[in-house]
């Protein structure tokens, strides 16, 4: 049985989220919801440990964790009931299901592995596992005012770090050194780390949309693509800007103009009720009409929050995701010319009741991208 640890009540933020989830669970007649995704159980409890799970029922919040996190639990969520497992998460949850004679348990099939599902089904018998409806996803998509404040901080940190980096760039530095410096500047400003491995791609390397920074060096006339973000209190920012050392290569200048127009048009298309697919289509149509259709192979954007990539998709691959007020998405079209280089411009955009608000504020004017 779970040890009772309910020394205090959850703060309002978590109490509200739990209440919202319970309301949806009631509507769907779900007696219990198992959160195994770390960012999801963090969302409901504030707990920061990994390899854990939260069982949410109409009456209880049970955290299944292990000895490494005993002290963290005391500090972060002393109000949850706790099962300190000495076995696997699946065995511990299974035992709990059996002891509480649970008939059905909703599990997150979009992040639970087949092997884990099989082990849990066996350990929880006769509790039946059912695929959880996307209650949590739905809640996480719409950012509250307090979440937006943290996201704003994550964006500010990333932007300030970029400005500091810009001043430090010199001919002869490698992509890797520049990426390291940018991540350091973000952490100095309070980021717990980069939101994802920073991309710094010089010259032809920028034709690889997901390049890994390497030993390639900055030279006079370099066009450099930088895609970075800060992780701050578990929320992520995500931007892309170009930098040019002294001069702008003519081919790159041309595609910069096309990408920026595509990005501005796509941002202007953001509003409630529109599909991510439609926003993508706006950027894609502009790039296609300009003659670069086959050089834009990726989706236009993605949702942003506790995960760097979360719903809603802003992509030609997903037709179902519809934007709603409170969603935050990236808008980041690009053009990549093999052997020559590439341009991507990325901002973070909030869907508002009557349209959009661009949360990022770094200039996208090509003149501002030139380092003298």
Residues that bind its own copies (CB under 8 A): 48-50, 66-72, 74-75, 84, 86-88, 107, 109-115, 117-118, 131, 176-177, 179-181, 183-184, 187-188, 190, 192-194, 197, 207-213, 296-298, 316-317, 336, 338
Select 315 or 359, whichever has its Cβ closest to its own copies.
Answer: 315
CB 129, min distance to its own copies, A: 9
Select 296 or 356, whichever has its Cβ closest to its own copies.
Answer: 296
DSSP sequence for 153-199: HHHHHHHHHHHHHHHH--TT-BHHHHHHHHHHHHHHTT-SEESSPPE
CB 42, min distance to its own copies, A: 12
CB 196, min distance to its own copies, A: 10
Select 271 or 298, whichever has its Cβ closest to its own copies.
Answer: 298
Select 58 or 197, whichever has its Cβ closest to its own copies.
Answer: 197
CB 86, min distance to its own copies, A: 7
Select 37 or 264, whichever has its Cβ closest to its own copies.
Answer: 37
Distance of alpha carbon 356 from alpha carbon 264, whole angstroms: 12
Partnered with residue 275 across adjacent β-strands are 322
Whole-angstrom CA distances from 250 to 26, 171, 254, 257, 340 are 60, 20, 6, 11, 11
Whole-angstrom CA distances from 175 to 180, 192, 221, 253, 335 are 9, 22, 15, 21, 20
Residue 44 tokens read as 């409901």
CB 326, min distance to its own copies, A: 25
In this structure, the chain runs to a length of: 372
């Amino acid at each position: 049985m779970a040890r009772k640890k309910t020394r205090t009540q959850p703060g309002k933020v978590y109490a509200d989220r739990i209440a919202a989830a319970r309301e949806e669970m009631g509507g769907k007649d779900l007696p219990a919801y198992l959160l195994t995704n770390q960012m999801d159980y963090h969302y409901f409890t504030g707990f920061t440990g990994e390899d854990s799970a939260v069982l949410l029922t109409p009456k209880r919040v049970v955290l299944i964790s292990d000895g490494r996190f005993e002290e963290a639990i005391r500090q972060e969520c002393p109000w949850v009931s706790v099962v300190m497992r000495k076995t696997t998460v699946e065995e511990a949850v299974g035992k709990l299901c059996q002891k509480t004679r649970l008939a059905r348990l909703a599990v997150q099939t979009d992040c639970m592995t087949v092997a884990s599902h099989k082990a849990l089904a066996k350990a929880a018998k006769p509790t039946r596992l059912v695929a959880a409806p996307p209650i949590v996803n739905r809640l996480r998509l719409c950012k509250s005012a307090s979440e937006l404040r943290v996201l704003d901080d994550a964006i500010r940190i990333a932007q300030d770090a970029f400005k500091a980096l810009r001043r430090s760039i010199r001919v002869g530095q490698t992509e890797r050194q520049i990426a390291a410096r940018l991540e350091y500047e973000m952490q100095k400003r309070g980021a717990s780390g980069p939101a994802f491995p920073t991309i710094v791609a010089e010259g032809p390397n920028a034709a690889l949309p997901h390049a890994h920074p390497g030993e390639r060096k900055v030279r006079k006339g370099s066009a450099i693509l930088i895609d970075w973000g800060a992780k701050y209190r578990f929320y992520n920012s995500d931007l892309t800007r170009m930098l040019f050392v002294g001069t702008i290569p003519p081919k790159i200048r041309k595609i910069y103009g096309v990408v920026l127009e595509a990005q501005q048009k796509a941002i202007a298309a953001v509003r409630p009720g529109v599909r991510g697919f439609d926003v993508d289509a706006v950027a894609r149509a502009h790039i296609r009409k300009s003659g670069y259709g086959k050089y834009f192979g990726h989706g236009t954007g993605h949702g942003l929050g506790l995960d760097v990539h979360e719903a809603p998709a802003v992509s030609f691959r997903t037709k179902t995701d519809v934007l709603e007020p409170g969603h935050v998405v990236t808008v980041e079209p690009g053009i990549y010319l093999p052997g020559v280089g590439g341009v991507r411009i990325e901002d973070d955009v909030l869907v508002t009741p009557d349209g959009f608000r661009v949360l990022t504020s770094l200039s996208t004017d090509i003149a501002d991208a030139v380092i003298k």
